[in-house]
């Protein structure tokens, strides 16, 4: 068996390596929750394409095709993860115990919620409204419940169990607390399909409470990330792309505020609904300003890390979903204000999303072929240390 495994490794047959690992052979390949970030990054392209001002009608076929791809990826990763959990649980257990990797337990809920949103936006064209709604409701319930648990359990372990360095704060800390914001967005999309009266109002206000849950936690963590950058600088490693995750709760909150402003009229009294319509603009415009600031900073810090020979890792998917939320959030602003500024800003972010996805998808495909993305990180690597180093 060992000679066969050596031959498999030499020939670069990744699918055989995966088989040997999954079936319990003496091989150290595995899949963890961080892989679900690829579903998030792919699914958001479908959602962004369906929401894009001016060109959404022309991108309908692309959006549907990408959503189908995201569905296939989600199903494949769920099946593979369950198979690995029965065969060898070390990846998920090790991630749960690791202060950095545990943060990515927020990825599976967001992957499910992203696909749920796509079912409402484009999936109904393929399977009809009835099945699309059933899929969306099911994934929303599962994603909301598991996302809430990730928002509670992972920070709790961070507060009580994990040992962190003064320079440990990174964008990944946002991953467990962002799922409720995505739940708020998809839940708001489901409000019109909820029975009128108490059920609809309950769902609407539940979405708004999830909006606050995620937003308050995100603001605290973003401040900690800013403080770490100011005091310690960046690591120059593959952890740097996670700085883009800061855009996630910002863009997603703009999206949620915009959708809630749209559906409020059918869910709450008229005077309150008007307040939500105002909130969609009064909240999102200042956030849009900070989005522009952080985008510029993230670009500069990424270029600096690239200059320091940053290596590819699954964290590159952090370039995709957060930028996609900026597309959908800015598109909501364009819808509520009818201003060309926000229309073209969303289109610009959309092109950035496509470029980011191409980079992440190419690197992931290459890493799967070579097999290094399936390997657990080396225990001898030591902690990631941030240093200030001018370009």
Instruction: Assess whether pLDDT exceeds 50 at residue 380.
Output: no
Instruction: Assess whether pLDDT exceeds 80 at residue 263.
Output: yes
Angle at 127 between CA 125 and CA 129, to 5 degrees: 75
Instruction: Assess whether pLDDT exceeds 80 at residue 278.
Output: yes
Query: What does the alpha-carbon distance between residue 99 and residue 42 come to, in Å, rounded to a whole number?
Result: 26
pLDDT at 378: 59
Chain segment 233-259, per-residue pLDDT in tens:
887 778 899 999 999 999 999 999 999
Q: Where are the domains of the chain?
A: 31-364
In angstroms, the Cα distances linking 301 to 24, 292, 388 are 41, 14, 11
Q: Rounded mean pLDDT of 130-142? A: 97
Instruction: Assess whether pLDDT exceeds 50 at residue 9.
Output: no
pLDDT at 223: 97
In angstroms, the Cα distances linking 37 to 8, 104, 213, 281 are 28, 8, 22, 29
**Between 58 and 386, the higher pLDDT residue:** 58
Report the range of poorest mean pLDDT among 119-123, 162-166, 340-344: 162-166
CA-closest candidate to residue 277, choices 263, 297, 290, 289: 263
- In this structure, what token pair is assigned to residue 207? 């979405």
Instruction: Assess whether pLDDT exceeds 70 at residue 182.
Output: yes
Q: Rounded mean pLDDT of 175-182? A: 98
Chain segment 316-361, per-residue pLDDT in tens:
999 999 999 999 999 999 999 999 999 999 999 999 999 999 999 9
Instruction: Assess whether pLDDT exceeds 50 at residue 26.
Output: no
In angstroms, the Cα distances linking 185 to 57, 70, 114, 254, 329 are 22, 18, 10, 9, 10
Q: 31-364 belongs to which CATH class?
A: mainly alpha
- State the average pLDDT for the chain: 89
Instruction: Assess whether pLDDT exceeds 50 at residue 12.
Output: no
**Between 7 and 190, the higher pLDDT residue:** 190
Residue linked to tokens 């055989």 = 16
Q: Rounded mean pLDDT of 56-61? A: 92
Collapse the DSSP code of 140 into the 3-class scheme (helix H, G, I; strand E, B; otherwise coil) and give the result: helix
Angle at 162 between CA 159 and CA 166, to 5 degrees: 85
Collapse the DSSP code of 168 into the 3-class scheme (helix H, G, I; strand E, B; otherwise coil) and give the result: coil
Report the range of poorest mean pLDDT among 66-70, 94-98, 155-159, 182-186: 94-98
Collapse the DSSP code of 52 into the 3-class scheme (helix H, G, I; strand E, B; otherwise coil) and give the result: coil
Query: What does the alpha-carbon distance between residue 175 and residue 322 come to, in Å, rounded to a whole number?
Result: 11
pLDDT at 22: 45
């Amino acid at each position: 068996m060992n000679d066969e495994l050596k031959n498999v490794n030499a020939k670069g047959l990744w699918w055989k390596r995966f088989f040997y690992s999954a079936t319990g052979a003496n091989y150290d390949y595995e899949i963890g929750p961080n892989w679900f970030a690829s579903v998030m990054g792919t699914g958001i392209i479908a959602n962004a394409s369906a929401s894009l001002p001016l060109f959404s009608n022309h991108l309908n076929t692309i959006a549907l095709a990408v959503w189908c791809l995201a569905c296939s990826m989600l199903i494949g990763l769920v099946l593979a993860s369950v198979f690995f959990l029965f065969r060898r649980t070390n990846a998920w257990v090790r991630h749960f115990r690791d202060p950095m990797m545990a943060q990515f337990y927020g990825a599976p809920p967001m992957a499910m919620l992203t696909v749920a949103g796509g079912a409402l936006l484009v999936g109904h064209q393929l399977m009809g409204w009835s099945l699309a709604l059933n899929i969306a409701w099911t994934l929303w319930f599962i994603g909301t419940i598991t996302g809430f648990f990730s928002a509670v359990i992972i920070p709790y372990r961070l507060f009580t169990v994990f040992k962190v360095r003064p320079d440990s704060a990174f964008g990944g800390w946002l991953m467990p607390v962002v799922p409720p914001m995505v739940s708020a967005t998809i839940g708001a999309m489901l409000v019109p399909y909820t029975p009128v009266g108490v059920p609809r109002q309950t769902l609407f206000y539940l979405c708004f409470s999830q909006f606050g849950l995620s937003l308050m936690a995100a603001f605290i963590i973003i401040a900690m990330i800013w403080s770490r950058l100011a005091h310690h600088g960046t690591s120059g490693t593959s952890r740097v792309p996670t700085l883009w995750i800061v855009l996630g709760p910002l863009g997603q909150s703009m999206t949620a505020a915009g959708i809630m402003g749209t559906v409020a009229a059918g869910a709450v009294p008229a005077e309150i609904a008007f307040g939500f319509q105002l909130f969609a603009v009064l909240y999102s415009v200042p956030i849009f300003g900070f989005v522009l600031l952080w985008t510029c900073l993230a670009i500069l810090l990424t270029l600096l890390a690239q200059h320091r020979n940053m290596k590819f890792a699954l964290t590159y998917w952090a370039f995709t979903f957060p930028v996609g939320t900026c597309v959908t959030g800015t598109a909501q602003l364009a819808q509520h204000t009818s201003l060309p500024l926000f229309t073209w800003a969303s289109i610009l972010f959309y092109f950035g999303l496509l470029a980011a996805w191409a980079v992440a998808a190419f690197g992931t495909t290459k890493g799967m072929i070579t097999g290094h993305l399936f390997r657990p990180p080396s225990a001898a690597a030591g902690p990631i240390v941030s240093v200030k180093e001018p370009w």
